[in-house]
Amino acid sequence: MTQASVVGPDGGETIRLGPAQIRILEDGSTTGHRIGIGEITLAPHAEGPPQHRHAQHDEGFYVVSGTVHFTVGETTHVAPAGTLAMIPPGAPHTFANHGDEPAVMLNTFTPDLYVQYFRDLRDMIAGGREPTPEATVQVMSRYATVPATEYA
């Protein structure tokens, strides 16, 4: 692939998942699937997904605005704008926005394996299924991801 991808501020694929909006900026098609990039906007006072572990990809979060609380294992890190959190395969993690303003994060997946997870969640909800923690975990399992309690 030698063609560049330029995604403007109104571009990308937007996926709404309850209190979160994910804007897919790079789905791996330009990068030979080496990296996927999304922008996550999390509503005030919102929780992220159930704590989980990825087996096959690294995940990065750069806080663009707001403050995000990252829980990695039993440790919670308060991450204001300008903070980078890198989560290697196997590390249990989740995040939340406890603030009064939306929080925005740039999210990376190396390789791009997890981009399709967001699309699958969107399709599940559009099909009438509630995004319960159990349903979310079921979708996660398609992408080498399990609840934090399933393996150490």
When pLDDT is averaged across residues 132-142 and rounded to a whole number, the result is 89
| Residue 3 confidence class, pLDDT cut points 50, 70, 90 | confident
When pLDDT is averaged across residues 58-84 and rounded to a whole number, the result is 97
Q: What is the mean pLDDT of the chain?
A: 93
Show Cβ contacts of residue 32 under 8 Å, excluding neighbours closer than 6 positions.
Answer: 1
Between the two ends of the chain, the Cα-to-Cα distance in Å is 38
When pLDDT is averaged across residues 23-41 and rounded to a whole number, the result is 96
Instruction: Map out the domains of the chain as residue ranges.
Output: 13-147
Question: pTM above 0.75?
Answer: yes
When pLDDT is averaged across residues 41-46 and rounded to a whole number, the result is 98
What pLDDT does residue 150 have?
59
What pLDDT does residue 149 have?
78
| Residue 152 confidence class, pLDDT cut points 50, 70, 90 | very low
- % of the chain exceeding 90 in pLDDT: 85
SS3 26: strand
The CA distances from residue 30 to 61, 68, 101, in Å, are 20, 29, 33
Q: At what angle do helices 133-140 and 115-126 cross, to 10 degrees?
A: 140
Q: Would the pLDDT of 15 be above 60?
A: yes
- CATH fold for domain 13-147: Jelly Rolls (2.60.120)
Please tell me the distance from the alpha carbon of residue 41 to that of residue 70, in angstroms, as a whole number.
15
